[in-house]
Structure 1
């Protein structure tokens, strides 16, 4: 991961089809070229330390495997969204995290990879909307 973040030359954009190669690991379905290129631009322009922090805390399988206690201690309703074919954080890890706490709901977006919000935005937004519209159960009873 450190090499990927450290090696981000601007000439990378000049390689034919680099947008498709770069995104292949993250996607099950194709996304528009403008979105692929925006992702590459963000990657190339990102602050190195911030990018490493993201790799280690958010998109890293090891971090997800080490976070069970955090999921077990959540006190508010939480939605975990998995892409069915996510190679970065597989569905099984989302299922395991949700099993640790009744406040954690897990949904799987079919036929998507690590970025279901890009690959199937309508389904993703529907799932988020459904979650946000659920009535909250009070943590304490009101007399």
Structure 2
């Protein structure tokens, strides 16, 4: 594991060796996850394509708080490229998808990655879309995995936010030491039970996530304003955007994936930017790593 400082915050990351392909693959994990979930896919791709995975601020092994007393907003303005999008807006929270996209832009700049495909899971998919908007000269395309939406259903989102807050309240550090507790994480949000190793990792990531970051990302990414901005964001992106949907995903159902994808020009013209993975739930990169890796390779090479 390597670390790099972004706006005063240490981030953990892993970068594989360069290859003959000019584009790097940048993997962005979802809520309460960490970079390790991408390893089954990266191990299948890294011989042909350089792969970068990192822990989002406040998750995994990345810190949450700025160690110094400078203003994040002022510093980000001086380091960030200027977006041409009418959707660009100042950061009013540390935990919006836009704020995390700015972290990503600075990370790529500091690692001298000038040509990248962004691959995001769930919340990471939203961050990837904003990354494509913020640094279009660097991002050549986006692949969203188990990510979609763009329809704000008031009652459903209020219930989701309430349940999420209650979920976060029940995670003392000693929870990870309770015998067999990790078995609960073998079945959550997946079609077939995960290997015990991954259940253990899910439990660890759930327990160690910074409380402010965990709650902040939950609340700031599910507001009515944020949800309603997604279709407009996708419609304005000039890069190719693909969506991999789990056919049995109950967290982000395929119909919501197809809805968001429909706002992109590729879907309007030829309809091939939504790829459904059979017998797959909400953790496609763990449930179907061969299929996900093959899809990613095929998409990137085709462009």
Whether the TM-score (by the shorter chain) exceeds 0.5 is yes
Deviates more, 1:102-111 or 1:89-98: 102-111
1:22-54 deviation line (CA, Å, top 9, x unaligned): 353311122211111011101100111222244
Report 1:1-143 matches (<5 A): 1-56=164-219, 66=228, 67-103=230-266, 105-135=273-303
Normalising by structure 1, report the TM-score: 0.79
1:100 to 1:126, Cα distance in 2 relative to 1, 3 A? same
Report deviation, 1:119. 0.4
CA distance in 2, matches of 1:9, 1:81: 34
CA distance in 2, matches of 1:85, 1:121: 16
Contact 2:185 2:202 in 1 (8 A): no
User: Counterpart of 1:89 in 2: which secondary structure?
Assistant: coil
CA distance in 2, matches of 1:108, 1:121: 14
1:120 to 1:90, Cα distance in 2 relative to 1, 3 A? same
- Greater helix share, structure number: 1
Contact 1:76 1:103 in 2 (8 A): no
Structure 2 runs not aligned, ≥5 long: 1-163, 268-272
CA distance in 2, matches of 1:90, 1:123: 18
Structure 1 runs not aligned, ≥5 long: 136-143
Normalising by structure 2, report the TM-score: 0.40
1:74 to 1:116, Cα distance in 2 relative to 1, 3 A? same
User: Counterpart of 2:188 in 1: which secondary structure?
Assistant: coil
Deviates more, 1:64-73 or 1:92-101: 64-73
Say which structure, 1 or 2, has more relative contact order (CA 8 Å, 6+ apart).
Answer: 1
- Greater strand share, structure number: 2
